Structure 1
């Protein structure tokens, strides 16, 4: 009985081993078909090269500044008086209008007193002139008749002889005359008039304010003419000419203006190696402080093409398409802008890649974009 159990146990073990071995053979004999990867052919946009004349446009930017600007400072002391217009920011004035008026009542009285003294002094010498210098008496008499104390003191008559000059100077008339003119000159500083039509861009005082000598009162600009200061690389400095037309574009890129190069700084900035140019522009819509972009036509490059900078490889090469295969050719870049590059040594009629291709390499199989409207970027091939 025990022998029988042993035999059955051995047979069971052998059957299990045989089953495992058979399963292993079955697994090894099974062939798993390998997956065939789909070959992806990328679609590329191309263009046929036609060399021509490419204008080299140097871009620069900056903010508009009024060409004529006047900072208003007080040279005398007094109370600020209201004029015909409020002294407020944004107030417009015509040429010759009073911008600022400072109370000069007390000083005006001293000027009138000095004028009166001069008039009396000249009157006192008239009898001596009639007797001793009858030939010059008429012109001094005419001067007294034209003398108006409420107007600016007229120039003294021209002295034609040394005797006349010594006599007039000895009586202190010259000293008094120049003293009066000095007072009148200072009196004129109590009123500031607009030298040109414009607008007040800064007002630091109001009516009734006590103004002190040397105090800044405001700022006045001419709204007719503006300048744009731009920094241009010294490489293109020699290409700029005074009077050359320049296209200006506003920040929103909705409107263009035409300016001209007004001045070019003769010194190169040592830090940035740039030259400062000033572009003058006239337009009623412009305001000071507006951001503008200037496109300066520096020169023209012949037998060249212009492409996106992203298409130029670090090895100074670009991709071309030959029989649906990508290839590279050597080129010579002659000008770089922010987004474009001007190239030479590109043969006419060759097909170049117009837009960057991700993962592109020489020998890559590609499909040219169908101009009839194909929009597929890739295609699977069995």
Structure 2
């Protein structure tokens, strides 16, 4: 039997396997070449800087109020202690505690019996003195005619005139004593010295009061308007005066915004009345007094408050959004500015305070500067940028985002 008939199929399969083995390296090489070509097309060339899209705001100088915030307490506009000016037993209390009282309104009634008797005695003494004066005057007139006729001595006449003068002085003394007695009787009714709200009574009916007692009968406080006393450090005051003398800062009417203990703003602004001329030796502060309307009685004496006070205005300042300011490694402040050739430029600035949501910049910016506020994290020095206004809807992408896009298959 011819074995080639059986070996022919085997030889054919072997030849096929050998051909397949030679084709596999060729296919793999072709795939690698295609991948390399595609990768070279997707990657940017060495040294290429992609354009960064940023948002900017245009800087223009403006006038900004120099505001400071202080802690303080409310103080009554007027405060008066109700005190007795005579001694005696309190018979009646003529007011309701916590009510509004008027100046001159009766508050307490002290037993007037002794003072009424003093008035009656003073009146009687005055009548007696006037009668004595009348008799002395008649005697002096009669002696005047007698001395002319040389019926009495000149000395007797002079004595009669002196006695009349003494009687006249005695009448004046009795009149003064009567006035004093009537005043003391009037003091038996204790009046309110000022308009305001009266507190609790510190004495009760039946209590014995004296003019020199330590405790008052009650206290009246006028609460509309009301004062808010705040403390400003002497250093802050000196800094403000230096700014005013430089000419870049102008004094303004000091309006104040008051904030309640719960943090809510008080609806009506206050006005700075004056500042103390002395510095407190223990705290190194100066007291500023603010006058605030308080018609509804919301603010009460002793209440802890905060005051935001505008003492001056600063000209030629710039309001910079807070997100635009960048701090360097040493803490220096700078911003990114769109240059004339659409390249990012770093600009150092002077920003020492915040007003609301903006930094107040005094140095480093010029009118018309385009300051970058969006896309700052993607910027490098001299980076090419495509600047659009910050209010324009935009999609900002970090550098290299384009290389992450899927490549188009050919």
Aligned position for 1:151: none
Q: Does 1:118 align with 2:116?
A: no
- TM-score normalized by structure 2? 0.60
Shift of 1:97: 0.7
Deviates more, 1:369-378 or 1:44-53: 369-378
Greater share of helix residues, 1 or 2? 2
* 1:361-376 correspondence runs (5 A): 363=381, 371=391
> In structure 1, what is the Cα distance between the partners aligned to 2:373 and 2:271?
35
Aligned position for 1:319: 335
Aligned position for 2:42: none
* Residue segments in structure 2 that go unaligned for 5+ positions in a row: 1-51, 143-160, 405-410
The alignment of Structure 1 onto Structure 2 pairs a total of residues equal to 311
> In structure 2, what is the Cα distance between the partners aligned to 1:169 and 1:241?
72
Aligned position for 2:217: 217
Q: Does 1:348 align with 2:367?
A: yes
**In the alignment, is the contact (CA less than 8 A) between 2:94 and 2:107 conserved in 1?**
no
Shift of 1:257: 1.7
* Residue segments in structure 1 that go unaligned for 5+ positions in a row: 1-41, 135-162
Mark the structure with the bigger radius of gyration.
2
Aligned position for 1:247: 256
- The counterpart of 1:299, out of the listed 286, 290, 312, is 312
Shift of 1:228: 1.7
**In the alignment, is the contact (CA less than 8 A) between 1:68 and 1:225 conserved in 2?**
no
**In the alignment, is the contact (CA less than 8 A) between 1:66 and 1:227 conserved in 2?**
yes
* 1:283-298 correspondence runs (5 A): 283-286=294-297, 287-289=299-301, 290-298=303-311
Distance verdict in 2 for CA 1:234–1:272, change over 3 Å: farther
Residues 184-207 of structure 1: per-residue CA shift (max 9 Å, x gap): 444444332123322103432233
> In structure 1, what is the Cα distance between the partners aligned to 2:124 and 2:395?
96
Measured on the aligned residues, the alpha-carbon RMSD in Å equals 4.4
**In the alignment, is the contact (CA less than 8 A) between 2:337 and 2:347 conserved in 1?**
no
Aligned-partner SS, 1:267: coil
> In structure 2, what is the Cα distance between the partners aligned to 1:115 and 1:260?
55
> In structure 2, what is the Cα distance between the partners aligned to 1:128 and 1:356?
111
Shift of 1:43: 10
**In the alignment, is the contact (CA less than 8 A) between 1:318 and 1:352 conserved in 2?**
no
- The counterpart of 1:193, out of the listed 191, 197, 204, is 191
- TM-score normalized by structure 1? 0.64
Aligned-partner SS, 1:122: helix
> In structure 1, what is the Cα distance between the partners aligned to 2:103 and 2:119?
27
